[in-house]
Amino acid sequence: MDYLKWSSQDLVGTITLGNAPANALSSKVLKELSGLLDEIEHDDNVRVVLIQGEGRFFSAGADIKEFTTIENGEQFSNLARLGQNLFERIENFPKPIIAAVHGAALGGGLELAMACHFRLVSEKAKFGLPELSLGLIPGFAGSQRLPRLVGTARAAEMLLTSVPISGEEAVKVGLANHAYPESELFKNALNMAKQISKKSPVSLKAILELLSFTKTNEFHAGVEREAVLFGAQFESADGQEGISAFIEKREPNFVGK
Report, as an integer, the average pLDDT of 223-229.
92
Query: What is the predicted pLDDT for the residue at 255?
Result: 84
Domain assignment present for residue 175? The answer is yes
Q: Can you state the angle between helices 152-161 and 142-150, rounded to 10 degrees? A: 130
pLDDT digits (tens, 9 = 90+) for 91-132: 999 999 999 999 999 999 999 999 999 999 999 999 999 999
Among the listed residues 88, 91, 123, 131, the single catalytic one is 131
Residue 5 three-state SS: strand
Query: What is the predicted pLDDT for the residue at 163?
Result: 97
Domain assignment present for residue 222? The answer is no
Domain assignment present for residue 27? The answer is yes
Domain assignment present for residue 214? The answer is no
| Counted domains in the chain | 1
Report, as an integer, the average pLDDT of 8-13.
96
Query: What is the predicted pLDDT for the residue at 217?
Result: 79
Could you tell me which residues come within 8 angstroms of residue 210 by beta carbon, excluding any fewer than 6 positions away? Answer: none
Task: Assess whether pLDDT exceeds 90 at residue 256.
Answer: no
Domain assignment present for residue 45? The answer is yes
**Which of the four pLDDT bands, split at 50, 70 and 90, describes residue 250?**
very high
Range of the domain at 163: 4-184
pLDDT digits (tens, 9 = 90+) for 50-96: 999 999 999 999 999 999 999 999 999 999 999 999 999 999 999 99
Is there a contact between 110 and 140 (Cβ–Cβ < 8 Å)?
Answer: no
Query: What is the predicted pLDDT for the residue at 99?
Result: 98
Domain assignment present for residue 87? The answer is yes
Is there a contact between 48 and 11 (Cβ–Cβ < 8 Å)?
Answer: yes
Report, as an integer, the average pLDDT of 176-195.
98
Mean pLDDT of the chain: 95
Domain assignment present for residue 203? The answer is no
Report, as an integer, the average pLDDT of 174-193.
98
Active site residue 251: no
Distance CA 32, CA 35 (A): 5
Among the listed residues 88, 111, 123, 226, the single catalytic one is 111
Active site residue 41: no
Whole-model pTM: value is 0.92
Domain assignment present for residue 95? The answer is yes
CATH of the domain at 34: 3.90.226.10
